[in-house]
Structure 1
Amino acid sequence: MNLKKLVGFLVVIFVLFWIISQPGNASGTVNNLLANLRDAGESLVTFIGGVF
């Protein structure tokens, strides 16, 4: 098993542990991440619309 696969496996295990042990915090973090991605997308669309 190479290092990249090992690190990926450990990250998956950590995320699963975090979701199981603190589901409220995990869902809040995911909601914040998705909101930030939505805001970035809207900003990009506004910029492109302003250029053209």
Structure 2
Amino acid sequence: MNLKKIVGFLVVIFVLFWIISQPTSASGSVNNVLGNLQQAGSSIATFLTNVF
């Protein structure tokens, strides 16, 4: 196995452990990330609307 596969495997294991051990914290973080993505998409759409 190369280093990239090992690191990827470790990241997946860490994320699963985090979700199982602290589900409330994990869901809050996911909600924050999705909210930020939604805000970024909205900002890009506003920018493109004003450009064209």
**Alignment TM class, shorter chain as reference:** over 0.9
Percent of pairs with identical residues: 73
CA RMSD, aligned part only?
Answer: 0.2
- Give the CA deviation at 1:2: 0.2
Q: Which runs of 4+ in 1 moved over 2 A?
A: none
Aligned counterparts of 2:51 and 2:43: Cα–Cα separation in 1: 12
Task: State how many pairs are aligned.
Answer: 52
TM-score (norm: length of structure 2):
0.99
Identify the residue that residue 10 of structure 2 maps to in structure 1.
10
TM-score (norm: length of structure 1):
0.99
Structure 1, unaligned stretches of length 5 or more?
none
